[in-house]
Each structure stands twice: as C-alpha cells, then as structure tokens.
Structure 1
Amino acid sequence: MTWKIKLEDPPDGFDDGINISSSKPNWNDFGFNFHASVNFLYKGEMIFLSAYVLPLNIKEQKPYSYLTGAPSGELKYFVSLLSNPEQYRHLASKLPDSAFIYVLKELHEVSYDRYAGTGKYEHVIQIEPFRLGVLRDQKAYLSLINGFAGAYVKAPLGDAKTPFSFSTLLPGTENFVKLDIGFRHHEHFDDRVHCLIGVNGTGKTNLLARLAVEAAALANRKQDGPSTQLYSENKKLIQYDSSTLDFADDFRFNRVVSYFSDPSSALPRFSSVGVFEYHAFNTTARKETNEFHQNLSYLLVTLLRVTDDRFSQAKSKIFTDALSGIMPMDLLAIPVSNDCPEYCCVADREGKKWSFINQMNGEQRSLDILGTIDITREPSFLSAGSRRAIDLSSGQRSMFHFALHFLTLAGYGTLLIIDEPETYLHPNLVSDYMMFLYSILELTSSMAIIATHSAYIVREVPTHCVHILERKGPDASISRPYLQTLGANVAEISLAVFGDSTIDAYHRKISEILAKTNMSFDQILEDYKDIFNIEMLLEIKDRISNPEEYD
C-alpha cells in the first residue's frame, strides 16, 4: 500500500507530493508497525528516506496500530520520525536549509517540532503506540533526542588533546592576553585537564566564553554548511571581533560542551543548528526542561539504553561507580506520570509515581517508563520504607547533574569548558570529581579547561596545565606558578597562585595584634589553643621572638 502527502504551493524544485509506503509489512513491535519508506522528487533527483509514520484514526482519536491500517490515498493526519540520526544528515546534504526544514514540517516530523519548541506533537510522544512502535529502536530514540539538531554537525577531527594558542582582549583591558595550551606525554598520567585560575573579577569565565565563540567561528569558516551561532541567556547573538584561535596543525574543535553553576555566568547558553555542536548545562538548576538533550530523566534513560558501542556499554557502570560513594544509587528513581503502568512504578507518600532505575530491566518495561516520564520533576532518591523523595545536597546535586549530563553527551574529541565546579562541592568531592573527569576525558580523547579559584582543583593538575590570570590596572597577563602543583599542599598552592595577597589575610591580622599585646606566649597558648591551629600559634610565637622581621 502507498500513500501521498500533498504539497500545497511547494517551493521551487519540489513535485506536488511526498510518497509513503510500508517498508516492513511483516514486522511487529509489540503489536505495532510504523516502518515506512519516504521518497520525493527535488529538482529532478529522487530522494529516499527511512522513517516511522504514525497515521491517526480521526474517528477513534488515536493512531492506527499499523501503517497499513490507514486508508490508501492522501495522508493528512499523521506524525513521523526519521528512523535514525543519519537520515537527517542525508536529507540536509541533499537540500538547501529552507527546503530541509520545509520537508520536515510537511512530514509532521517530531524531532524538528521539539527543537522548534512548537510542541504540536508532544501528546503523541507520550502514548503507547509511539513508545512501543517507535522508541523500541535505540536509533529512533537518538533521532528523537538530537536528530534535527545534529543534522549539519561535522565529526571531530581527532583527539582534542591538541596544543593551541588563544588570544583575546578582555573587557576593561588595553592589551591582548594569550592562553597557551600544551601537553606532555607520560605513560601513567594523561594531562587532559587545564586550569585557568585567578581571583574573582579577573575575567576567567569571560575568556573561556570567548574561546567557545571563537571555536565556533573557526569551525564555521573552515567547513561547508550552515554556520553555528552562539547565544546568551536572553537569546542575544554573541560575537567578539578581538579573538584569535591558532592550532599547530590544521585542527579545530567541532564540539564544545560547557558547564556552569552561576546563573549569571558569561558562557553562551544556546546555539543554532549548524556545522559546530555546542551545549551548555547548569549543574545546579532545579527547574526541569522538556528538551531531550537537557532533561535529566531522558539523559538517564539514554545512559542506560544506548549500548551500541563498547564505551556506551560501560557508561552505566562508570556513572554508578563515580557516585556510589556519595549517594544511595540503589534508591535512584525516575519520575513518571500517572499513565505509567502499575507494574513498573511505585507511588510516594504524596501519590507521585516513580520508577527505580535498577528495576528498568526488560524491553517493554523500559519503554513503558521511557514513554511516561514526568518532565516537571527531576530524578531523585526514593526511600523504600518511608516512600519519601530524598532531596540532594547542593554538592550532591552538582556532582549528579554533571556526571549524568557529561556521560550522556561524552563523545570523541570534545572540548569541555567548566566554570567554577567547586562552588557547590566540598573539598572531598573535588577529588572524586576530578578522578571522574580524568577517566572520561581519556576514554573519549577529549580535554577540559576549568575556570576556578580553588587550590583544591589546582592540586589535581600539573604545573604546565595551570594558567594564572592576573590584572594590574588596564593590563592583563597569564603566567604559570613556580610550584609543582600536582599533589602539592593547598596552602602552598594558594601562596604560589595568589602571592602577597595572603599578607592581608584576617588570621595574619589577628596574629599581629596578639603578638603586640603584653600577653606572654604561654598565656596566648592557654587562652586560644582551642581555636588556633599549630601553624598560627607558631607564627605568633615567632612574631613575639623576632618582631623586627615583621616590621
């Protein structure tokens, strides 16, 4: 059987319709079959696509169970999804941008509809025929998540661990500042993390935001296809004229992922569809989103479902291992709607439904959970006894969000830009965070640059990967510390990075005041030993014994 989607007043180059036929008439996906072959004529060339087409039974207000159940002839009421991400890239390579979008609109295509924010077909995604008849295929799920958005993205050129130099003119400065990223090769240490450190207000995040924008600009200049534009929180186009990104070889980043915890961060938030891939994610945001590439529940399901290569198969274990020491992973649950079948969910004390991740076994169970995710809530930890959703601490939330998003989006040759991850992390969590980061960067041949003012972060990277951004009046500069930072003492790192600024530290003022009183050291020791540490007491004793050295 065949069907036709009639095109009213089509743009130049198109015929009068799009042809649909059943491609797997004997197939059965839990009682559904929407496999379709799509073809149409454009400027004399016949273009073929593989897709899922769900025809709607208007009389019964639901989809037919089979594409072949729809009456032949003109197809008016339906939705579709291209069968795998490659189909979007194929279609985009055959058509101009406007024609590409025109075809997807005429196909009532779900991935494009979600990207455009229309939400016209959102209700169809949630129903059983779509869950079981379409999303059973992992490639169809990937189409739903990022099919249209990834249509023009070019593949990474190679290992992101490639030396480069970036120069830019920061706001309020009169000279160009230069960031030189280099690497060394040691058998048992892979130096894939660099730190940009400095006091607040020096422009660390601004510099990395400019790096992301220039990386996109370089990718746009060097490759055919639509240019990717980066946008701010309020959807304003971000452009900088005073930046240069140079690689030793003819290299470029085609993929950048940014993480931030401060809502006022200067990092770009959004990107247009084009040759360069960019994502930004707030690791502490509580508000959920229905965007598949951001929604934590969909990311979590993706992490567990997509196992089409060796690295993907290991992601779930890496995720659990990274977080099991700081949170009860056996209690992790995804929020689901009331449409979720009773056999694969439980209700909390407020009547809200959840599905435990460790019970997400069996194909139909996982599809029933996937299709009924509640996008208004985020994954949480559910106490089996009290049936109470457990709120995470800010540090746990930040670590959980980062690990989940990073593992899901982790891909070959990615540059990660991370803005002050220590903001919500206890120093102990910083070490866990860095171990997790190093392991994934090595597995994906990626690299990271962290903007930080934490000595605990710097302690985890070698000196040649530490870049100190300083300002003196209108001049900015980047230097390296004199100290071997990897594994160094935190106090020594603070002194090496921030230098003489520690002279004005509050505890030194107290030491100075006490040393100049008439109190003996024994009396000071007796009165203050419960609040002063040994280093501070020794400093006071030295000030009393050698006052001329502190004048």
Structure 2
Amino acid sequence: MKIIYTPNLPWGAEPPAISGEKDYLSLSGNNWDDFGYRTTLNARIFFDGEAIDLDFSIKMLIDDVEYTREHLNNLCKEGWNGRFPIPDQKYVSVPTDIDFYKTIHSRLSSEEMSKFLALLGDAGYLVEVKKDKSSTRLTQLDIFNTSLLRGSGSNKCFQDGWRILEHQDSSIRDFKFRLNTQSGGVCDIPFSFESDLLPYDINVLIGPNGIGKSYCLRSLVEYWLQIDKGAPDQLSELGYDPFDHRPNISRLILVSYSPFEEFSLGLKKKDKVLDTSAYRYFGFRKKLKNGRIGISRGLPKLNASESLLDAIYEDHKYQEESWWINKFDTCLKVLKKAVGFDEIYLKLDSNQNLSALKKYIKDIKGSSYLILDSSLPAIVFKQELIDCCDMQSGAYFIKNKKLCDLSSGQLLFSYIVINVIGSIRENSLVVIDEPELFLHPTLEIEFLSLLKSVLKPFKSKAILATHSLSVVREVPSNCVHIFREGKDGFDVIPPPFETFGGSVQRISAYVFGDRSVSKPFDEWLEKQMAGGKQADTLIDQLGEEINEELMMRIHRISRRLNGS
C-alpha cells in the first residue's frame, strides 16, 4: 500500500484521488498550530480507487523540523515526487483516530500492514514492535508530546494502534489520577479497570455533599483533554503531571443533570484541540446566542433525538467495516430490557417532503410519527429528517401501536442510554455525575445493569460520582474511592472491606459515619424514655406499631439511660 503526498494545496483542501492508483494513503498539508508546532497532515485512505469514509489526520514529526507541511512542500519543489518514504529523513507519525488501524487491518494482511506502518513511520509500531532506537529518540522530544500527542485520539493511537496488528487487547487500562485538590494539595486516585474475573468496568466516587466529587470529575475531564487548567502551558508552568501515564481513552462522554454542575460544554477553537469529537457533554446547560450559559430542561429530549439519528446514520456509514458495532441495534437491545416497547418513534412537524417514507409514518391520536429504522439512510438524507421531525420533543416508545406512558425518571433514564450509545466508540470513558438525582432505588440498580450492557460491546468503562449505597454494593472495593475529611485533611481512600455484594449498612457506616450521627427516631425514643419509663412499658404502648429492630433499640436506650 502506497503513501503519496500532494504539495501546495490549500491547507484545508481534501487530499486528492491519485489517477492510476488503487490502494494508497493520500496526504496533503495542514497548518494547524499546536503551541508553535505544525505537524498535521490531511489524510484520506483509498482502496480499489475508492475513498474510505473515515475522518482522521496524520500527525508527522520530521527530525529537526517544526512545520511539516512547509518542509514537504520544499522537498517536492527540490524534486521529490511525494511518494514515501521521505528521502534521507528520519520521521515518525501518529494518526488521530484508532479506527485508522482497524480499517487498514481489515483489508491488509499482517505482513502488508507492517510494511505500510513502517513506510508511514508509525511511532507506536516502530517503538513498541520494531524497538527502533532513532524513532524512540524522536518520541522523547518535547514536540512529540506537545504536538503529536496533543489530541486524545492520537494519544490512543500511539498507545494502542500497534496492538491491533499484534492482536493484543487495547481496552482502557488502569491509571492513577493525581488530583490537585481545592485546598492546594495533591491526592492520588488509582482508577482500576483491569481484572480477569471481577467486574471492574465501573469505578465509583462516593462521599458527603460538598466534599469534591464533581470537582474531581471536572478536573479529570480538563486534564485528560488538556484544556483550561489542563492545557500544556499551564501544566508546564506548574511542573505538575496529573497522571502516572495519560489514559488510553478514545472519547470521554460526560453526563450530569445537576443544576449546579460546571462541566465544560464541549471543545472550542480556543482549546486548540484538533479533534473536537473527543468529548461530549449531556446535561441541562447550553450556550446561548448571547454567549451566556442557560438552563434548558428540554435539552435531554433534543439530545436523544439527535443521538438516535446519529446512531442510525453512523451505522449506515460504517456498515461495510467488519469492526463496526451496530449502535441502533445495541440501543434497542439495551432499552428493551428496561422499557417494554416495540418501536421508537420521532414526532413529525411536517411530512410534506417524506413521500418516500410513507410506510414509516404512523398516525397516533391525531399526530404523525416516524418509525426509526436502520434502513432510513438509504432512502432519505439525515438533514431532511431533522428538518421534518420535532426534535425537541424527544423519542417516543410505542407498544401495541400505543404510546408508552413513562415517568419523567424513566424517560431521562432512557435518554441517557440513548445519548451514551449515540456518542460512544470503542474504549470510551463514560463519566456520570450523581445518576441517583433522577432515579428511584430500583432504577439505580437497573441503570447500572443497562450501563454495563452498553459498555461491554464497546470495550468501554465508566466513572460514577454518587451517594448511592446500592450502587457501591455492585462494585468491587478496588473500584470504590471514598472522599472524606479526616484528621489530616481531605483524602480519598479505598474501603477496608469488600463492597461487592456487601452490607449496605456497613458501607453506609464507613462512608458516611452513620454511627456518629444522631437520628430523629433516636431523639424521639429518648424523649419517650425520659423520666425512668421502662422499656417494656413503651413497647406495650406502641403495640403493633413496632418491629424487632426498634424493640432492641428501646432496650439499649433504656439500659444506657438507667445505667444498667
């Protein structure tokens, strides 16, 4: 497979098809600036002369060169024909999307892929597989970390792209987050995601209100994305490294339906991040036209409508790729475990332009609805559906041709599943802040089960910040991180006992210190026992309005008050 660079194109131009070539990587110049370094090249893959629909770039470092496009253009001016390898140059490269390797691997033999990666100067392959010393030297330069590994996608590619060739697992691995606390200290949090037996797919942060769980999540997002306080220049100035190694995450999905959260709403130009799809936020907050941040209770519904269409049209886009996991089918399969329905509909504003979709349109109680189906992309463009659907009203679940009557909690619960699936890709990290805000205790466990069903096929992991003891009981102790204020100040500690399948009362006592907290019913009992009243007397007075635990409590209070 060949690699061909075309010089002197506008920096935003798509790399061209090359006449007479069949299987090749077409490159052209880009002037994207990573803190003074310009290493980005536009890229397109062709097989059998047809372009593969994959959105990615190549970051390339040439020894002693800070502006790759300019250098390659000059080489072509001096007589180079643009065909790799670059003559008399040492170089390494990193793609910006792990799907690049999956696409190549599905079409080339292992030997062919090895030759191609060597020709491209793939940094992960040359360092980890070939053990090439000169390539290793280039990856240790500041420009490599500042520019080539600036984006989360390229970081993931460097760590795990070569593993696809070697048939090794590329799932999210354990990492230690060094939290720069609000009080100015540093606290290590070891996130555990690797286990041969126990379910380490979800880590939990638990502790009292105001202790810093949401702050930790917000810090984790900013440091991993390298934005705001996690920007490279900020970290360099502080001399602070937030991770023992940068997590091998391909995408981070943040879900928070608290009215007080302050998470980033999305990546912006000022963040200087090339891949703006690396992060997705789902909550009630949105940026208004005047630049301010507003609250919209209808945002989850709009997001769910968009996510369903995203899933369907992404499935169509990648349907020929053997590595693709069908998102819409996954969504139906997961949701049907919790909501009994036959089909999912979107409500129509107008069906005047949808005559070709007549069989997908149903009337219910005087309103028109569109049945969502995986065959829609072959019939209508996505934007046409968006224009005709009432996207603000969200998804409708239909059972026996009738609308399902779901509670607000069930709907929000369903929308979270839809939004996560619509945004997820392999090796994503799903971060959810206080899911119990909208779930009753039974739904908390059901939500955890559904979340696991979403994570598994996409080899993804999750971190939850919660107060829910029921959630903690479903998670092994190595994945539980207790936030608390001790004698020596703020700390994050593991539980000293196994939480997986453990006692809720024991977990509660350790996490929230229940034994030291005076409860209203204790105060009431003490007032009743005041004046020397005997335990048996109060028990007789209560009659049937008492249980065994309360009887034992009355006797304990009686012994304490009477000194016996």
**Helix, strand or coil at the partner of 2:281:** strand
8 Å contact 1:41–1:47 — kept in the other structure?
yes
8 Å contact 2:327–2:421 — kept in the other structure?
yes
Instruction: Give distance in 2, aligned partners of 1:197 and 1:48.
Output: 44
Pick closer, same or farther for the CA change 1:432–1:13 going to 2, 3 Å.
Answer: same
How far is the alpha carbon of 1:50 from its aligned partner?
Answer: 9.8
Amino acid at match of 1:354: Y
Q: Which residue is equivalent to 1:214?
A: 223
Q: Which residue is equivalent to 1:86?
A: 54
Q: Note if 1:269 corresponds to 2:280.
A: no
How far is the alpha carbon of 1:310 from its aligned partner?
Answer: 6.2
How far is the alpha carbon of 1:527 from its aligned partner?
Answer: 5.1
Give the TM-score, by structure 2 length: 0.61
8 Å contact 1:196–1:452 — kept in the other structure?
yes
Q: Note if 1:245 corresponds to 2:242.
A: yes
8 Å contact 2:345–2:370 — kept in the other structure?
yes
Q: Which residue is equivalent to 1:345?
A: 361
Instruction: Give distance in 2, aligned partners of 1:324 and 1:485.
Output: 29
Render the CA deviation track for 1:144-197: whole Å, top value 9, x for unaligned: xxxxxxx994362344542322223333x243222122456333x231211111
**Helix, strand or coil at the partner of 2:425:** coil
Q: Note if 1:167 corresponds to 2:178.
A: yes
Q: Note if 1:401 corresponds to 2:369.
A: no
| RMSD over equivalenced CA pairs, Å | 5.0
Render the CA deviation track for 1:367-420: whole Å, top value 9, x for unaligned: 68846433232112246666xx55632321232122112222222222222111
Pick closer, same or farther for the CA change 1:309–1:432 going to 2, 3 Å.
Answer: farther
Q: Which residue is equivalent to 1:196?
A: 205
Instruction: Give distance in 2, aligned partners of 1:303 and 1:521.
Output: 68
Q: Which residue is equivalent to 1:323?
A: 335
8 Å contact 1:288–1:375 — kept in the other structure?
no
Q: Which residue is equivalent to 1:336?
A: 348
8 Å contact 1:210–1:243 — kept in the other structure?
no
Amino acid at match of 1:274: L
Amino acid at match of 1:330: D
**Helix, strand or coil at the partner of 1:185:** coil
1:51-450 map, 5 Å:
85-86=53-54, 89=57, 153-154=153-154, 156=156, 157-158=159-160, 159=170, 161-171=172-182, 173-182=183-192, 185-187=195-197, 189-217=198-226, 244-247=241-244, 252-272=248-268, 273-275=273-275, 277-282=278-283, 286-288=297-299, 295-299=306-310, 301-302=312-313, 305=316, 307-308=319-320, 312-313=324-325, 315-338=327-350, 339-341=353-355, 342-351=358-367, 353-357=368-372, 361=375, 364=378, 370=385, 372-382=388-398, 390=404, 392-450=406-464
Q: Which residue is equivalent to 2:98?
A: none
How far is the alpha carbon of 1:278 from its aligned partner?
Answer: 1.2
How far is the alpha carbon of 1:39 from its aligned partner?
Answer: 12
Render the CA deviation track for 1:3-39: whole Å, top value 9, x for unaligned: xxxxxxxxx9668x9999999xxxxxxxxxxxxxx99
**Helix, strand or coil at the partner of 1:461:** coil
* Percent identity for Structure 1 against Structure 2: 18
8 Å contact 2:283–2:299 — kept in the other structure?
no
**Helix, strand or coil at the partner of 2:338:** coil
For residue 470 of structure 1, the aligned residue among 468, 481, 484 is 484
How far is the alpha carbon of 1:511 from its aligned partner?
Answer: 3.4
The aligned length equals 425
**Helix, strand or coil at the partner of 2:214:** helix
How far is the alpha carbon of 1:47 from its aligned partner?
Answer: 8.9
Q: Which residue is equivalent to 2:530?
A: 516
Q: Which residue is equivalent to 2:82?
A: none
Instruction: Give distance in 2, aligned partners of 1:525 and 1:97.
Output: 84
Instruction: Give distance in 2, aligned partners of 1:499 and 1:399.
Output: 30
Pick closer, same or farther for the CA change 1:417–1:39 going to 2, 3 Å.
Answer: closer
Pick closer, same or farther for the CA change 1:90–1:318 going to 2, 3 Å.
Answer: same
8 Å contact 1:214–1:243 — kept in the other structure?
no
**Helix, strand or coil at the partner of 2:178:** strand
8 Å contact 2:206–2:465 — kept in the other structure?
yes
**Helix, strand or coil at the partner of 2:154:** coil
Amino acid at match of 1:180: P
8 Å contact 1:283–1:398 — kept in the other structure?
no
Instruction: Give distance in 2, aligned partners of 1:546 and 1:87.
Output: 72
1:20-35 map, 5 Å:
none
8 Å contact 1:334–1:354 — kept in the other structure?
yes
Give the TM-score, by structure 1 length: 0.62
Unmatched segments (≥5 aa) in structure 2: 1-6, 19-25, 32-40, 62-66, 71-150, 161-169, 286-295
